[in-house]
Amino acid sequence: MVALLTLLLAAAPAFGAGIHLTPEQAHAIGLKIWHNEADGKVELLTHWNKGEAFGSFGIGHFIWYPAGERGPFTESFPGALDAIAASGESLPAWLRGHAPCPWPDRDAFYKDFDGVRLTGLRALLARTVDAQALYAAHRLEDALPKILAAAEPSEGPMLQRRFDAVAAAPNGVYALVDYVNFKGEGVNPTERYDGDGWGLLQVLELMDDAAPGQPSVEAFARAADEALTRRVAHAPADRRAREQGWLPGWRARLRTYPEP
């Protein structure tokens, strides 16, 4: 798995200053993401939040919608399964072919929580941390071109400069990978409250220019806090209290970004 991860990361397209992860760095990022999303616990690798129309799976709590359901948030778990399969892991038939999430709602999901499918899925996800980390890194690699295409042309050099300044530090690469998987690229028009987004695009727009490396990572974390605070303030009435309850955990996550 580590050798394959090295090969695939080396073959991935570079942009800006280029992001180059060693297998050890990729594995460490995967473990951090797992801790951020699921407290590093196997039982939380399959999860369904109250009030949500989708389940959350894997180290990144990647979104998976049931048949007939679509919400404002981008689905990402089918792509994670593709990355797991590309790593050489054999997927059971029910996980192949970008099938929709087989549990129609949270109640059905938790009734089957200790069943064969979910128990097996958690085991699969626990042993494929590196492949999921690779998927997270590729999501970041895909993000900047989308961000530059979505932004005003005059903003492009600024966004590129800030991105590269954050990526100049190893913990900055972790911050960028984690945030894209946490709150998205910021280019999906449905991921807005009152027209205000909270993804990587919006964080790069909000952050102050700072010296490359650690100062920029700290500026990025502050801007991410501002973006998520705005998100909660603009959340729909039926979501605001729930999101307000999540905000302390989100902020705790952001505080890990400047850590060496």
Q: What is the pLDDT, as a whole number, of residue 72?
A: 85
Over the stretch 231-257, which tens digit does the pLDDT of each residue have? Answer: 999 999 999 999 999 999 999 999 999
| Domains contained in the chain, number | 2
Q: Tell me if the pTM is above 0.95.
A: no
Q: How big is the chain, counted in residues?
A: 260
Q: Is residue 72 part of a domain?
A: yes
Over the stretch 166-189, which tens digit does the pLDDT of each residue have? Answer: 999 989 999 999 999 999 999 999
Over the stretch 24-55, which tens digit does the pLDDT of each residue have? Answer: 888 999 999 999 999 999 999 999 999 999 99
Beta bridge partners of 46: 57
Q: Is the domain of 114 the same as that of 190?
A: no
Q: Is the domain of 26 the same as that of 93?
A: yes
Place of tokens 């073959």: 11
Say whether pLDDT at 1 is over 70: no
Q: Is residue 144 part of a domain?
A: no
Q: Is residue 145 part of a domain?
A: no
Round to whole Å and give the CA distance between 80 and 154.
34
Beta bridge partners of 84: none
Q: Is residue 225 part of a domain?
A: yes
Q: Is residue 114 part of a domain?
A: yes
Residue 259: which domain range?
Answer: 151-260
- From first CA to last CA, the distance across the chain in angstroms is 26
Round to whole Å and give the CA distance between 13 and 36.
27
